[in-house]
Structure 1
Amino acid sequence: MTAPASRDPVPQDTGPPALRARGIVKRFGPTLALDRVDLTVAPGEAHALVGRNGAGKSTLVGVVTGLHRPDAGTVALAGRPAPAHGDAAAWRARVACVHQRPMTVPGLTVAENLFLGRFEPGRPLIGWRRLRRRAAELLGAYGVDVDPRTRVGDLTVEQRQFVEIARALSFGARLIVLDEPTARLDARGGARLFARLRELGSQGVAFLFISHHLPEVYELCATVTVYRDARHVLTAPVADLSRTELVAAMTGDGGRPAPRPPAPATAPAAGERAPLLRTEGLALTGVYGPLDLAVRPGEVLGLAGAAAAGAVAVGETLAGMRAPTAGRITVDGRAVRPGRVPDALDAGIGYVPEERHRQGLVPGRSVAENATLTVAGRLGPFGIVLPARARALAQTMITALDIRTGGPGQSVAELSGGNQQKVVVARALARGPRVLVAVAPTAGVDITSKKSLLGVVRRFADEGGAVVLVSGELDDLRICDRVLALFHGRPAARFGTGWSDRELVAAMEGTTVGTATVPEAPTEAPTAVPEAPTSVPPEPTPGSGP
């Protein structure tokens, strides 16, 4: 595959590299995290660093941003040796990292976040008007359209990222590490972010771009470096690598996706069974609906949509985390009390949340404690958890899901992102649910973990469960039997298997192309979907659909 014409070429003859790391070795106890790896980023270049979880990407970022002292090797920034380890101010002036999780303080204003720790150097009192003026000048210099008086907690994810980038540049850094920057952005937000990064690149700012979403690498980056098993595998122009070749370099196994496993031969076809999960007129004012969904045993229903489409809120409603303003939910004919997580659990709904760090894990606890959170009351008499039972159940889940861990007692914080996500899935499955609601289950994990997680979801359905898979990732949605695309909270189109990327992306953006069908109002769609065809197919028969 060739690179898009809009991507800027690698700058030529623009001085010393923004980053040059050579022969970096880093050990954590007996674990060799980096084995003589190299990385060079040119001034003004967007350079991708990709690899499976555990490949060494995060460790390398720690080394080149001053968090980790390498055991061997050298780091140079803009042609000068890196600052001494521990000199935070010197490192901050040379390189900065914008993390996947926001590092801003939500309760403070934009101006306060921009100058946190350096409000008025040499002055005993803070001049708030002067501070806001300085913030406005800084934001304007980097093209960030945000009011300095606004609380950061009231900004969109996209705006918070721009504020973090502006803060990093204000220290003088000309190398910015971007860790999964689009994980929480919709397509439009991602396009705006990339446009701004290209503008900054033309000014000589270099970016080290870390992403598990390979289409973004081809869209933004000129060069890609691949790490595998703590070693440097290759560095090459993105335009010279097909996606198959890039995946092969990352995985070492050719990168072919595993075929979808067939349903058990003795099981009746999903269409012959009564729906296991139903929603009728489900709505949350201003967010989504009304929605009539029907998911049978053996089926995976995909809810596709951008960040603001309402699909995540639908998943949270099914799991009891939100109370709808209208409609009802039933599991096998039993009504589920809305807005109550215990009722959803008791009805047999398992839930994989969107954000594992904030909603899915207790970082200070072990793998066993995290995996058994939903069944703690079943692990001993009188509500007392017997550690041996918790460890035994956790070990069963570790084996079933192939969680790479030193054992049930290991802290979940020590696992890679993909294995942490498997622990979240283990917790959702621990109660033996009949329905699984999975929201962005592969966000921020590597390709191998992605295949494994999606295989678990598909297997749950093939063994008789019903799945609602909420995702904007096309690879996630390929395991679905049906997909309902949402736009501004309303169904835009529905698909069986065999949809094209172009069709589904168009539907998520509010248009319909190809063979997609648009559900008829009022049960599954608004009376008018922006840019959708004016003719719609007949309404499906009851229970036929989403």
Structure 2
Amino acid sequence: MSPATVEAANVTKRFGSTVALAGAGIVVRPGETHALVGRNGAGKSTLVSILTGLQAPDEGAVTFDGRPAPPLGDRDAWRRLVACVYQKSTIIPTLTVAENLFLNRQARGPAGLIGWGRMRRDAQRLLAEWSVDVDARRPASTLTVEQRQFVEIARALSFGARFIILDEPTAQLDAAGIKRLFARIGNLREQGVTFLYISHHLPEIYEICDQVTVFRDARHILTAPVAELGRPALVAAMTGEDVTMPEAVRRDIPPDVPVRLRVRGLVTRTSARLSLEARAGEVVGIAGGGGSGKVDVAEAVVGLTRPAAGTVTVDGRTLRPGSVPDAIAAGVGLVPQDRHREGLVPLLSIAENVTMSVPERIRRRGLLSPKRRDALAGRVIAELSIKADGPRVPVGDLSGGNQQKVVLGRALAADPKLLVLVTPTAGVDVRSKQTLLGAVEEVRRSGTTVLVVSDELDDLRICDRVLVLFQGRVVAEMAAGWSDNELVAAMEGVDLGHV
């Protein structure tokens, strides 16, 4: 048997008193797509930092193709072996695609000046070689999430690396984008590229991966062929226990329950349309694939974008179009689609993030009270099971699932009348997903109306009903108890009655 593409054996890594990895390891064979899964804090990110040469293990060894890993300082050697495409893109938006591809290694002319024309031609050839349909002259800021990922993969391959780590690659992709990504992975595997695939979305593991390794509490738990490991067994290995996602039960909302949200004739700038009424305590899903307009209508409802037409009324108050402050004042809470760009200030503490939209709740004698701020954040930490040493821990130090809980905590801190959740469990582990969705049930019981905007079936199962958008129009409304086939077909624009 040929040597493993990468092998980490008996790796231990400590950060002070915290043991991030305890004798853990992984073996990835040539040509595999090998999944690495586990709850947030299981040690996955620490292993990735070791496999990419950003940190050295305290104990244990890493080999590539049977040879010891290069010294940490030899970055060129590491780039020729491995690259990671992170959930948070490393593409520099103010540069062009070509400049990103050849950053710090631009072609030089006789006088030592950058040969811009040659660099653009080399970039275009590189993109064509790896079937990335992007103009090398484009500003990187204009790329979609999917295009940024493909450019990062092409950049990694240009160094000679044939081992690529994908960290939550589908967290911000729609269903069509995921299909294209999987097709690209298949094509690259045929050309000799090996993948380590990190995801909290377990159905993807069964669709795209050959082997799966599970980490839990900094330790290696198991490695097995995906085809031989059932989903309940995989979840149990990740959590140490059985985990059941909350689901909505059919419940009749009495007609005398007041309408909390009215959306009338809403038309977004992208021509998506929505009208609906939702009562206090009702959980309504808005589902759809790429180009459906689901995120556009959500952002128009909460004031992030100004609609072309229509009105939004919360508890009898008509919101000023395109005004986030007015929406907050009316009692609207939001968990945005991208927590990194829109939901968090990573250098601030948990307490500062949680309370930034409710300064009136933590004032004492006209001044902000650190004691009140920390007390409020402490309650959020306890209620949402945020794994942190206290309210003053910087949010940037938390795992992805715990960061998402902080974003939800801030939305809940104001006791919202309307809570809008946009892809709320993207990129979080199964236990964090359970906590986040369970919190929706608690909020609903208090009378808050909830909009869940997502194409994740687990997110939508907690809804009393789901409105399905396709190409900007509502094409179906389904009560709780829908089947996966029915909902997915509606999201894809398929009428099962005529198939």
Same-fold call, TM cutoff 0.5: yes
CA distance in 2, matches of 1:493, 1:258: 23
Which amino acid letter does the alignment assign opposite residue 19 of structure 2? L
Structure 2 residue 143 is the aligned partner of structure 1 residue 155: yes
| C-alpha contact (below 8 Å) 1:298/1:461 kept by paired residues | yes
3-state SS of paired residue (1:413): helix
CA distance in 1, matches of 2:120, 2:247: 56
Q: Deviations over 1:504-532 (max 9, x none)?
A: 11111122326xxxxxxxxxxxxxxxxx9
3-state SS of paired residue (2:195): strand
Alpha-carbon offset, residue 122 of structure 1: 7.9
CA distance in 1, matches of 2:387, 2:115: 52
Name 2:268's counterpart in structure 1.
Answer: 284
Q: Deviations over 1:66-114 (max 9, x none)?
A: 1111000000112211111232221111100001111111122111111
CA distance in 1, matches of 2:488, 2:250: 27
3-state SS of paired residue (1:276): strand
CA distance in 2, matches of 1:297, 1:270: 10
Which amino acid letter does the alignment assign opposite residue 91 of structure 1? W
Structure 2 residue 399 is the aligned partner of structure 1 residue 411: no
CA separation of 1:178/1:270 partners in 2, compared to 1, >3 Å: closer, same or farther? farther
**259, 270, 278: which one aligns with 1:275:** 259
Alpha-carbon offset, residue 121 of structure 1: 5.6
Alpha-carbon offset, residue 464 of structure 1: 1.2
Name 1:98's counterpart in structure 2.
Answer: 85
Which amino acid letter does the alignment assign opposite residue 155 of structure 2? R
Could you list the runs of 5+ residues in structure 2 that have no partner in the other structure? none
3-state SS of paired residue (2:224): strand
Structure 2 residue 247 is the aligned partner of structure 1 residue 247: no
**15, 18, 27: which one aligns with 1:40:** 27
Alpha-carbon offset, residue 388 of structure 1: 1.1
CA distance in 2, matches of 1:508, 1:102: 28
**346, 353, 368: which one aligns with 1:370:** 353
| C-alpha contact (below 8 Å) 1:44/1:200 kept by paired residues | no
Which amino acid letter does the alignment assign opposite residue 453 of structure 2? V
Name 2:313's counterpart in structure 1.
Answer: 330
Name 2:337's counterpart in structure 1.
Answer: 354
CA separation of 1:118/1:41 partners in 2, compared to 1, >3 Å: closer, same or farther? same
Name 1:232's counterpart in structure 2.
Answer: 220
Alignment of 1:83-482 (within 5 A): 83-120=70-107, 124-258=112-246, 269-289=253-273, 291-380=274-363, 384-482=367-465
| C-alpha contact (below 8 Å) 2:248/2:461 kept by paired residues | no
Name 2:477's counterpart in structure 1.
Answer: 494
CA distance in 2, matches of 1:463, 1:198: 48
When normalised by structure 2's length, the TM-score is 0.96
Which amino acid letter does the alignment assign opposite residue 276 of structure 1? R
Which amino acid letter does the alignment assign opposite residue 102 of structure 1? S
Alpha-carbon offset, residue 256 of structure 1: 3.3
CA distance in 1, matches of 2:174, 2:383: 33
| C-alpha contact (below 8 Å) 1:270/1:297 kept by paired residues | no
3-state SS of paired residue (2:292): coil
| C-alpha contact (below 8 Å) 2:248/2:464 kept by paired residues | no
CA distance in 2, matches of 1:439, 1:140: 35
Which amino acid letter does the alignment assign opposite residue 193 of structure 2? V
| C-alpha contact (below 8 Å) 2:249/2:481 kept by paired residues | no
Alpha-carbon offset, residue 182 of structure 1: 1.1
Alpha-carbon offset, residue 378 of structure 1: 3.5
Give 4+ residue runs of structure 1 displaced > 4 Å after superposition.
258-263
Could you list the runs of 5+ residues in structure 1 that have no partner in the other structure? 1-12, 515-531, 534-546
Alpha-carbon offset, residue 262 of structure 1: 9.9
3-state SS of paired residue (2:150): helix
Alpha-carbon offset, residue 51 of structure 1: 0.5
Which amino acid letter does the alignment assign opposite residue 23 of structure 1? N
CA distance in 2, matches of 1:271, 1:175: 58
Which is worse superposed, 407-416 or 22-31?
Answer: 407-416
| C-alpha contact (below 8 Å) 1:281/1:292 kept by paired residues | yes
Q: Deviations over 1:302-323 (max 9, x none)?
A: 0111243211122212221111
CA separation of 1:252/1:381 partners in 2, compared to 1, >3 Å: closer, same or farther? closer
| C-alpha contact (below 8 Å) 2:259/2:279 kept by paired residues | yes
3-state SS of paired residue (1:301): strand
| C-alpha contact (below 8 Å) 2:167/2:199 kept by paired residues | yes
CA distance in 2, matches of 1:155, 1:393: 39
User: Aligned residues, how many?
Assistant: 498
Percentage identity across paired residues of the two chains: 56
Alpha-carbon offset, residue 463 of structure 1: 2.1
| C-alpha contact (below 8 Å) 1:49/1:208 kept by paired residues | yes
